[in-house]
């Protein structure tokens, strides 16, 4: 029997997981956990590049973990854990720092962008973010990494570091490939349909959280930016309506053309109402499960501990190999 390929992915616990995360990423994860050996982390170390309020950050991270489970990620099928609970992530990052050039790190587009946004806090973690990401991936000998457009450059750096190390010390790391999902729509902001829906968007009306109440979802869809022309159609010059059609299609499984035909002349109010109700029904079981899990912190922590223990067993093997190859005295 062929060995399953390993998939690694993580999300920073900032803001709330959105409908965009659910449709664009997590829906694919649910399929992948049956096909691959998957590790899904709460990337809490990455989130420290921005100043966090400790008590709020801790609470948000645990809520994220509950949301992972509520969306259907199964700790019996996959490894679910907090990045910070596996110290090998930070240990391997230091080693990989010594095989990463300053020019490579400073050329990263996200470093340039985030440096402009956080002029009062351009810290080394911000520059070193891609090396920590490389350690995340390489630690588990990951074959595949689901990446969005904003992370492709980081994956290329991960591949470069892995190949550089392998060429110097003999094959040590699997050189990962990007995982291109078979399906998964790009969900855009409700306030700016030319931009991706982001869990860190400061405008609460721009995003739909997977744990929003039905009333919040309905109201956000009603306020979604559209255009002055009353006909429902999917086209480049109607980004707002096209985004709502994409959402409608994703949560119902119906084709965009079929939905556009059905609502073409019914007006935006009726169309938005239908989209809102469909999203509410899609997220209703997720929200209910999230509320159930959130009330059982002991269970959440037991799942997190088990996941971290499983992750550490794999991580330790890789780190021991790396330490031996670079010449460190065995522990």
110 or 180, which is more confident? 180
Q: What angle do CA 297, 300, 304 make, to 5 degrees?
A: 135
The whole-angstrom separation of Cα 136 and Cα 95 is 13
Structural domain spans, the chain: 6-179+297-326, 204-292
DSSP character for 182?
Answer: S
Q: Which of 5, 59, 76, 114 is catalytic?
A: 114
Q: Do domains 6-179+297-326 and 204-292 have the same CATH topology?
A: no
The secondary structure of 14-41 as a DSSP string is: SS--BHHHIIIIIHHHHHHHHHSEEEEE
80 or 331, which is more confident? 80
153-168 per-position pLDDT tens digit: 889 999 999 999 999 9
The whole-angstrom separation of Cα 275 and Cα 219 is 11
- Whether 186 sits among the annotated catalytic residues: the reply is no
51-64 per-position pLDDT tens digit: 889 999 999 999 99
Query: Which pTM was predicted?
Result: 0.87
**204-292 CATH, one of 1.10.240.10, 1.20.1110.10, 3.40.50.720, 1.10.3720.10:** 1.10.240.10
Q: Give pLDDT, residue 81.
A: 98
105-149 per-position pLDDT tens digit: 777 676 666 656 666 767 787 788 899 999 999 999 999 998 866
Choice among 18-27, 38-47, 208-217, 313-322 with the minimum mean pLDDT: 18-27
Tell whether the torsion through CA atoms of 261, 266, 272 and 273 is positive or negative: negative
What is the rounded average pLDDT of the residues 222-239? 90
What residues have CB less than 8 Å from 273, skipping those under 6 apart? 218, 221, 222
- Whether 196 sits among the annotated catalytic residues: the reply is yes
Please name which of 8, 73, 34, 29 lies closest in space to residue 290, comparing C-alpha atoms.
73
Element (H, E) at 9: strand 6-11
Q: Give pLDDT, residue 101.
A: 87
Please name which of 68, 19, 14 lies closest in space to residue 209, comparing C-alpha atoms.
19
Q: So what CATH class is 6-179+297-326?
A: alpha beta
Beta-strand pair 37-42/79-82: parallel
Per-residue pLDDT band for 233 (boundaries 50, 70, 90) equals: very high
Question: CA torsion angle for 25, 70, 294, 7 (degrees, to 10)?
Answer: -50
Q: Give pLDDT, residue 110.
A: 67
Please give the structure tokens belonging to residue 67: 């949301």
Residue 242, CB-side half-sphere exposure with 13 Å CA sphere: 13
Q: Give pLDDT, residue 111.
A: 60
Rank 128-132, 256-260, 307-311 by mean pLDDT and report only the highest.
307-311
Q: What percent of the chain has pLDDT over 90?
A: 69
What is the rounded average pLDDT of the residues 91-104? 92
Which residue is listed with tokens 């009330």? 295
- Whether 77 sits among the annotated catalytic residues: the reply is no
Q: Which of 59, 76, 77, 199 is catalytic?
A: 199
Q: Give pLDDT, residue 204.
A: 87
Q: Give pLDDT, residue 114.
A: 65
Q: Which of 77, 186, 196, 317 is catalytic?
A: 196
Residue 262 pLDDT > 70, yes or no? yes
Residue 20 pLDDT > 70, yes or no? yes
E strands along 187-315, which residues? Answer: none
Per-residue pLDDT band for 228 (boundaries 50, 70, 90) equals: confident
Which residue is listed with tokens 């110290």? 87
């Amino acid at each position: 029997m062929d060995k399953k390929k390993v998939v690694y992915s993580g999300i920073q616990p900032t803001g709330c997981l959105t409908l965009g995360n659910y449709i664009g990423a997590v829906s694919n994860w649910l399929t992948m956990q049956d096909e691959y050996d998957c590790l899904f982390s709460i990337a809490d170390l990455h989130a420290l590049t921005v100043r966090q309020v400790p008590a709020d950050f801790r609470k948000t991270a645990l809520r994220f973990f509950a949301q992972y489970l509520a969306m259907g990620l199964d700790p019996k099928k996959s490894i679910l854990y907090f990045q910070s609970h596996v110290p090998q992530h930070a240990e391997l990052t230091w080693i990989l720092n010594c095989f990463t050039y300053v020019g490579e790190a400073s050329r990263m587009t996200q470093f340039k962008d985030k440096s402009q946004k956080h002029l009062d806090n351009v810290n080394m973690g911000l520059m070193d973010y891609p090396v920590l990401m490389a350690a995340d991936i390489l630690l588990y000998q990951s074959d595949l990494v689901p990446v969005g457009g904003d992370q492709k450059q980081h994956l290329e750096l991960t591949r470069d570091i892995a190949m550089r190390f392998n060429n110097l010390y003999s094959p040590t790391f699997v050189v990962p490939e990007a995982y291109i999902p078979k399906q998964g729509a790009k969900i855009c902001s409700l306030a700016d349909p030319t931009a991706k829906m982001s869990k860190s968007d400061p405008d609460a009306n721009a995003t739909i959280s997977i744990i929003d109440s039905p009333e919040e979802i309905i109201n956000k869809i009603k306020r979604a930016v559209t255009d002055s022309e009353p006909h429902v159609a999917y086209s480049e010059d109607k980004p707002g309506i096209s985004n709502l059609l994409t959402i409608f299609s994703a949560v119902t499984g119906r084709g965009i053309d079929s939905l556009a035909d059905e609502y073409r002349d019914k007006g935006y109010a009726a169309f938005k109402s239908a989209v809102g109700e469909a999203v509410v029904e899609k997220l209703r079981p997720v929200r209910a499960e999230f509320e159930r899990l959130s009330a059982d912190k002991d269970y959440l922590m037991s799942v997190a501990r088990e996941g971290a223990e499983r992750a550490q067993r794999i991580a330790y093997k890789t780190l021991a190999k790396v330490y031996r190859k670079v010449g460190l005295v065995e522990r």
